[in-house]
Chains A and B, each alone.
Chain A
Amino acid sequence: MDNGHANALARDWPAGISQVPFWVYQDPEVLREEQRRIFAGPVWHFLCLDVDIPALGDFRTSFIGDMPVIVVRGEGDRINAFENRCAHRGALIAFEDAGNVKDFTCVYHAWRYDLEGNLCSIAFQRGVNGKGGMPADFRMAEHGPRKLRVETIGGLVFGTVDPAAPSLEEFLSPPIAAKIRRVFNRKLEVIGRFTQVLPNNWKMYAENIRDTYHASLLHLFFTTFKITRFDQAGGVTISPDGAHHASATISKGIQTQSVYKDQGLRSDSDVFRLRDDSFLETEAEFGDDIQLQNVALFPTLMLQQLYNSVAVRQTVPRGVDSMDLHWTFIGFADDTPEMRRRRLRQMNLAGPAGYVSMEDGCIGNFVQRGAAAAAAEISVIEMGGRDAVSQDTRATEASVRGFWKNYRRLMEL
């Protein structure tokens, strides 16, 4: 793409957003440039949940791409975030997943930081017995880990290192922000965390979640067991820049086996049936008939509502051909015991062992292996056209093209 920029990564990539060369999933140089232009770029990244750090001094550690980050509840109920890197020698300032502190002290040489990430004391700054110590002109204020801007939506905490990034709301776009608020509309409660290690480039998962075309073709659970949904409709909503995606499946509910039986609609002998499909019985809790909603935020966050199973999925790249997928399963503070049990049982649908997500664990690796010798070859993403606009069908790859539209803009590729 000849765009006039002197980019070290400039190499063959057909114009447009409907064709993607395989080198983009394979080249370590691309990954380094992604860290600079996307993860440290004018982009908002998920850090943690608001309820993960309810009290003063509560912190969690997270990642923005390669960058380790501390998120902490500071004075005035403010959420602060800064790079988890000591300004002295670069050691991790905090090496636990979570905790509660008055301040942070690096274990290496005891440099101490307040809850905003300001360097506030240095061990032996004036030396010992008049010997050693830091130079007289050393100013603590000039040294510290990079600080992040922090904003929240629906109890989800986001941060960016780039002062030039727009506001979070503007970054998300109003239609996508509305989809988030639809589900994340009251106090959350974590009900489980799991990490799935996927042997593929992180962008393959970003594409997969936006790829509404594959859902009924790769994931055969619903069709195999003839689980029918009434009045199916739906489509995809794409932010104007292409970056973010929300898909929806609208129906009046699930037709489970018991419904068939109750209505004497058909014989059970000719098809496979689930023995206990009661776990699919769903309670509408978001004020509409959207049974399934997947929101994908650029670059690495996915928000899932599968019936009553709600989850946050965060991708952390681990090299060109590996990524961690952090699943946080969510309940709400006002759940009845019945609703909580329903969420626990519906977790069988998604996750590392999910009936309708298991295949996504291996499909990226099939691509990674299949295209291993095809760096200069092209993947074609033209189902539903060559643009990236909202559509009222899910038989489309429009959202995948949207990802690449925003990716090429940010990467100047």
Chain B
Amino acid sequence: MSDTLFRVAALNTRYAAVIDADMLEEWPAFFLPDCLYKVTTAENLRKGYQAGVIYADSRGMLEDRVAALRRANIYERQTYRHIIGMPSVLADGPDGISAESPFLVVRTMRTGEMSLFAAGQYRDVIHTGADGTSRFAERVVVCDSPRFDTLLAIPL
């Protein structure tokens, strides 16, 4: 189990580093071609509502999101700093690793204004390929608050 814990923690660390360093082009590769990436809230989950403010069920959709952020969408320059806590490994079997990790994201705007932009939990299903690379089959980002300040451009 400790090996699995380390594997998930290392994946989280690389994931955060890529987003926080604005290397978004590398972000889709953290997912399998058939995957689910969804940003939702604890309340939606509690109510059984399926929707997400971002809902991608293919890696292509994640690549498109990055392309849209780079080429089409307009928003003020900003960066994130992810702080991802120690994962809980719920299961590790033939269906992959099931894990949950708490996160905080601090957003720093162009102006220098900083705010606690999001807090919540990643709920993940992780598969490890023959080459030893771990990828998300599923990453559901469950935000504690139903409120999103201004807009959500950069992925969580």
Report which A residues bind B (CB closer than 8 A): 190-199, 218, 220-221, 223-225, 272, 274-277, 279, 324, 329, 340-341, 344-345, 347-348, 351-355, 358-359, 361-362, 365
Contact = CB atoms under 8 A, between A and B. Distances in A.
Nearest to A275: B60
Contact of B72 (A224, A275, A324, A344): A224
A198 B73 CA distance: 17
B55 to A, nearest CB: 5
Interface string B3-31: 00000000000000000000000000000
B58 interface: yes
Interface string B104-142: 000000000000000000000000000000000000000
B61 A198 contact: no
A279 B56 CA distance: 9
Contacts, number: 125
B151 A362 contact: yes
Contacts of B65: 348
A347 to B, nearest CB: 5
B92 interface: no
Contact of A196 (B51, B57, B67, B148): B148
Contacts of A361: 75, 150-151
User: Can you list the 6 inter-chain pairs with the closest CB atoms, starting with the nearest?
Assistant: A192-B51, A276-B60, A361-B151, A275-B60, A224-B72, A353-B152
A23 to B, nearest CB: 24
Interface in B18-71: 39-41, 43-44, 47, 49-58, 60-61, 63-65, 67-68, 71
A232 to B, nearest CB: 19
A345 B76 contact: no
A261 to B, nearest CB: 14
B39 A275 contact: no
B73 A192 contact: no
A274 B72 CA distance: 12
B146 A275 contact: no
Contacts of A195: 146-148
Given A224-B68, A345-B55, A355 B73 contact: yes
A353 B153 contact: yes
B40 A192 contact: yes
A344 B60 contact: no
Contact of A272 (B52, B67, B75): B67
A276 B61 contact: yes
Contacts of B1: none
B74 A353 contact: no
Contact of A358 (B63, B67, B153): B153
25 contacts: A190-B47, A191-B50, A192-B40, A192-B49, A193-B49, A196-B147, A197-B149, A221-B68, A274-B64, A275-B60, A275-B63, A277-B64, A279-B61, A324-B147, A344-B52, A347-B53, A348-B54, A348-B56, A348-B61, A355-B68, A355-B72, A359-B74, A362-B74, A362-B75, A365-B150
Contacts of B146: 193-195
B111 to A, nearest CB: 10
Interface residues of B, number: 37
Contact of B51 (A197, A275, A329, A365): A329
Given A190-B49, A191-B50, A353-B39, A220 B55 contact: no
A279 to B, nearest CB: 7
A276 B55 CA distance: 13
A195 B81 CA distance: 22
> Among A194, A224, A329, A359, which residue has the most Cβ atoms of chain B within 10 A?
A194
A382 B144 CA distance: 44
A286 B32 CA distance: 36
Nearest to B57: A345
A199 B51 CA distance: 25
A351 B72 CA distance: 16
Contacts of B43: 193
Nearest to A194: B53
Given A195-B147, A224-B68, A358-B151, A344 B39 contact: no
Contacts of B55: 344-345, 347-348
Contact of B49 (A191, A223, A324, A341): A191
B44 A353 contact: no
Contacts of A279: 61
Given A190-B47, A192-B49, A224-B71, 10 more contacts: A195-B147, A198-B150, A199-B150, A225-B72, A276-B64, A329-B51, A347-B53, A352-B148, A353-B151, A362-B150
Contacts of B153: 353, 358
Nearest to A327: B53
A352 B64 contact: no
B74 A275 contact: no
A20 to B, nearest CB: 23
A312 to B, nearest CB: 13
Given A220-B72, A225-B72, A276-B64, A347 B151 contact: no
B77 to A, nearest CB: 11
Contacts of B39: 353
Contacts of A277: 64
A226 B67 CA distance: 13
A340 B73 CA distance: 26
